[in-house]
Structure 1
Amino acid sequence: MTGDLTFDAIITARLVMSSAADPNPVFVTEDGAHVSPAAFDRMAGQAAAWLRQQGVARGDRIAVWLPNVTEWMALLFGAARIGAVVAAVNTRYRTAELHHILKSSGAKLLVFESSDRHADFRAMIDALDRSDLPDLTALAAIDGALPAVQGLPVTHCRFDDLDPLPMGEARASDPVALFTTSGTTSLPKLVLHTQASLALHAWNCARAHGFDQPGAEFLAAMPFCGVFGLNACLAAIAGGAPVHLLSAFSVGPALVIAKAARITHFFGSDEMFRQMWAADADALSQARLCGFAAFTPGLGAVLREMAEAGLPLAGLYGASEVNALFSIQPQSLPVEQRLQGGGLPSSGPQVQLRVRNPETGELCPDGEAGVLEIRGPTNFAGYFRNPEATARVVDAEGWFTTGDAAYLRGDGTFVYLARNGDFIRLSGFLTDPAEIEEVIERHPSVTKAQVVGVTHKGQTRPVAFVLPAEGSSPDPAGIVEHTAANLAHYKVPVLVIPLDAFPTTESANGVKIQKAKLRTMAEERLAGGA
């Protein structure tokens, strides 16, 4: 497969590879319904026809605010069939975040589910400032027509009674999806991908990670509104592995599906794997690949225990700009190395990697940490309606500066260390804050720690934020003394600040700690003479 792929080409490949006698379903819904390749092809064509009825044309944007349901994928493939673009909205978002995506994308149609048990989406839509959203002209709910909201009728997003639009209009160069960046330091930007970048990446992942092997079964628990959830799902579709849908992750249903369907592929956060392992260590006994992202501090020992017990855990790397599952650590590596972020690129020699020293501007040799840069046909097309932001991270030769600290191993793999801004250069040494955090968390009064670097008296010094262990009250002086007894002097926090909770932000992949806000808090405390 090459970079001229479209979403229709993914469906065509599934139709070709399907056995007429017993085709693998594309989806298995939570209630057990099977959606065959032919049925999904028809569903995508009907979604395209429905979008046309709503006045959606080539280049138009539609916002999809849905959990992991078949309608989500039908709308994506249907939009692709007519050259329209899906702006993916996180179901955890609320009015302000929804407003930002609708305004930034210029979406003319918003599709949502009104009966979601976790939130009142209709009420949040009603709270939007319509005067600031001139492009939004239509609303639709997958669970039925509703009374008008702010003068906009809410139509029923139903297309099973329509004649499907045939394939033939889609172009590989068509923009097809907009994803939000995490937005931990500023308003999130919209990352634009074309049909070619997403479809090629899906095909590459299917081959690289065994989605195309007999017996492969994929559990889709990460939300489709982010690349982590969507890329893995597209890879399963491209490879022929049935996608078992979870509308939202919950341990009980995940365990039931994992055992009943003999799940072989699952991708999620470290905390998801911890919860499943704690509840039933045998649930993923048929797993071939369990890719995880390290979102939760302090789980290293638990992950090592799980991997050493035989769970095929592997650290991975991804970003909205270069797709999730961009790389995964090979299973052949020792456990310690296999659990590091990074790995071998899923697209193999189609992509190029390099690491640059952010201070000198020189390229780093293997083993030396710097900022990771990536070039390849699966990179994003740019930030939507934001050429200035695009120019800041993509050079004239197409290299994307990730802003992530990493180093190359010299064997085609790399190790992701952290967001570059999260790393601290202390006394001239590039220091991973996790090293300090792990030591602090061994103090009996601390359950979790976060360390940031701030300028204090002309030098970068670490500041620690800690959450109390149950029944304890952290003693900053005692924590400093404990750290000094275990680490080099320059790694000892100049200040320890107890908190009830870390500041966080929602993303498509889960909750993320706002390091930038912690740095601001540390600077304010130091400036106040603390």
Structure 2
Amino acid sequence: MQVERPWLSSYPQGVPAEIDVDEFPSIVSVLQSSLEKFRDRPAFANLGKVITYAEIDRLSQQFAAYLLGELKLKKGDRVAIMMPNCLQYPIATFGVLRAGLTVVNTNPMYTARELKHQLEDSGASVLVVLDNFGAVVQEVLAETQVRQVVTTGLGDMLGFPKGPLVNFVLRHVKKMVPDYSLPGAIRFRDALTLGQMHPLPQVAIDAEDLAFLQYTGGTTGVAKGAMLTHRNLVANMQQAAAWIGTNVRYGEELIITALPLYHIFALTANGLVFMKFGGLNYLITNPRDMPAFVKELKKVPFTAITGVNTLFNGLLNTPGFDSIDFSRLHLTLGGGMAVQRAVAERWKKITGVTLVEAYGLTETSPAACINPMDLAEYNGSIGLPVPSTDACLKDESGNRVAQGEVGELCIKGPQVMKGYWQRPDETANVMDAEGWLHTGDMAKMDEKGFFYIVDRKKDMILVSGFNVYPNEVEDVIAMLPGVLEVGAVGVPDEKSGEAVKVVIVRKDPNLTAEEVKAHAKENLTGYKQPKYVEFRTELPKTNVGKILRRELRGPTPAA
């Protein structure tokens, strides 16, 4: 069935309806194009050290040659990378891709159980890990297929004397590197040296070859590896570049990369798209240290920043943020979770730049919808489907719903994954016979083609037969000046089946449950109002700052 595309009439000037997916056969060809064009430009910066595109070229070639020449890996073998944002990450990732191998992005905060599952499931034969997480690897290594571990310290690429100093402080002063023993492991710098001894062969990389096994769904059950091909990622780079390209200056952008590059949002939006633009990725290793993060922002004339709602909210509530020079900032992109109106409006007020919301999934590499970059104000929408992308809304029976009605958002386009690694049953659960990816997000579309997420299908609260969407409740509660953060969930209730509970981190220690309920009464219809209000010192979050609603359901206080 043909999809109408009402959103095309709302496209910003200069954005095409379709992109050329075949302009580049692989991520490596996009990378090589940038390495030639921007050789002398800075590519990545971290902890005071900057490396150029030429250095990325040389070092990633060395790592690729090490993997193929020294370890004799074969096309399609998987290499797990377990690092936060540091210079070794892009070197290793681009090295793996140039060798025709597959990157398995691994969250360094994983527990031993989670790490074992991912290494076993992916069948990774090599693991590159930061020293800080070596002790976790030690616990599970014997039970995996990993045959070579490459270890590195955070300071290893920073040069002398800074590098050794950083490593010493982390290990002996801050005690952030627990002792570990991994016999046979090789240091990252030694692997690069060995790589110099091997010529890098010409590797034929096909558009359908797997570039990344990107694990997802760990918060809802067993994590599954989304198979993202070179074509998927190239398509999404082309889509995002076409969308924001009218708003960037090639070779001049400096993007703040605070979300981890092992997460699909920062990987594509920052690491790959801004590499295509010849931009500089300014890597923040620990964005949770907000005062230090703000101090970093004061040092650099940044032009762009991506983040999730909790990151922007954290910055806005950190002393000194409002005195940063935002004169060069022209692009702020929010995704990964719903952007709250209160946060977006405050961001605009302080920085002068609209916080533009985007929407995507690991399974869509990730961008599926983005708001126009020339958006004057926050509009509560996730935007318009990006070029070469179709979107529709379906009901429980798989039928399209009428415009303005709520249905499950379904996506079709060249950025949609090949499927879940070795899980045809799970793939069949989300990909229907017509090739639509079912996102699990409930949404509606207006007459101009803008989509609005109403909520996650499984997070929906059913109060006396009425649907309550947590995002709406959270948005309203976040408007209260005394609220720092809020999460809304459904809890069992004898009378109504479920009732709304909000869990709040206070900005004003004197904020009471009564004030919260009174505010909700003014702004929400009866069944949407929270019956329970709980205060905590912090909210449980994923590694990228998404609130874990399922962990808020815990013990419910008296109403």
TM-score (norm 2): 0.80
Q: Look up the match of 1:187.
A: 222
Structure 1 segment 3-402 matched on structure 2, within 5 A: 3=22, 5-18=25-38, 23-36=40-53, 38-52=54-68, 53-114=70-131, 120-128=132-140, 130=142, 132-133=143-144, 135-143=145-153, 152-158=183-189, 159-161=191-193, 162=196, 163=198, 165-210=200-245, 213-214=249-250, 215-232=252-269, 233-249=271-287, 250-251=289-290, 254-255=293-294, 258=297, 260-277=299-316, 278=318, 279-281=320-322, 282-293=324-335, 295=337, 300-308=341-349, 310-337=352-379, 340-346=380-386, 348=387, 350-358=388-396, 360-402=397-439
Asked whether the equivalents of residues 48 and 78 of structure 1 are also in contact (C-alpha less than 8 Å), the reply is yes
AA matched with 1:59 = G
Alpha-carbon distance change, 488 to 270 in structure 1, aligned in 2, over 3 angstroms: closer
Q: Look up the match of 2:503.
A: 466
How far, CA to CA, are the matches of 1:205 and 1:368 in structure 2?
28
* SS of residue in 2 equivalent to 1:506: coil
| CA drift at 1:372 | 0.7
1:418 equivalent among 433, 455, 461: 455
* SS of residue in 2 equivalent to 1:176: strand
1:514 equivalent among 548, 551, 555: 548
Return structure 1 stretches of 4+ with deviation > 6 angstroms: 148-151, 441-447
| CA drift at 1:72 | 1.5
| CA drift at 1:164 | 5.0
Alpha-carbon distance change, 305 to 106 in structure 1, aligned in 2, over 3 angstroms: same
AA matched with 1:397 = E
| CA drift at 1:357 | 2.2
TM-score (norm 1): 0.84
* Residue range with higher mean Cα deviation, 250-259 or 264-273: 250-259
Asked whether the equivalents of residues 42 and 50 of structure 2 are also in contact (C-alpha less than 8 Å), the reply is no
| CA drift at 1:195 | 1.3
Alpha-carbon distance change, 12 to 392 in structure 1, aligned in 2, over 3 angstroms: same
| CA drift at 1:66 | 1.2
Asked whether the equivalents of residues 356 and 375 of structure 2 are also in contact (C-alpha less than 8 Å), the reply is no
Which digits, 9 at most, give the CA deviation of each residue in 1:418-470, with x for residues without a partner?
Answer: 22222335455543224334555678997654333356458543231434746
Asked whether the equivalents of residues 308 and 335 of structure 1 are also in contact (C-alpha less than 8 Å), the reply is no
- Identity value in percent: 26
Alpha-carbon distance change, 396 to 164 in structure 1, aligned in 2, over 3 angstroms: farther
How far, CA to CA, are the matches of 2:209 and 2:276 in structure 1?
19
How far, CA to CA, are the matches of 1:260 and 1:444 in structure 2?
30
Asked whether the equivalents of residues 67 and 247 of structure 1 are also in contact (C-alpha less than 8 Å), the reply is yes
AA matched with 1:289 = L
Asked whether the equivalents of residues 381 and 450 of structure 2 are also in contact (C-alpha less than 8 Å), the reply is no
Residue ranges of structure 2 left out of the alignment (5+ in a row): 1-19, 157-176
AA matched with 2:401 = C
Aligned residues: 503
How far, CA to CA, are the matches of 1:313 and 1:456 in structure 2?
37
Q: Look up the match of 2:5.
A: none
Which digits, 9 at most, give the CA deviation of each residue in 1:402-432, with x for residues without a partner?
Answer: 0012222343432223222223354555432
| CA drift at 1:11 | 2.0
| CA drift at 1:293 | 3.1
* Residue range with higher mean Cα deviation, 391-400 or 174-183: 174-183
Which digits, 9 at most, give the CA deviation of each residue in 1:337-377, with x for residues without a partner?
Answer: 1xx3511334x1x111011123x532123322221100111
How far, CA to CA, are the matches of 2:103 and 2:206 in structure 1?
15
* Residue range with higher mean Cα deviation, 309-318 or 496-505: 496-505
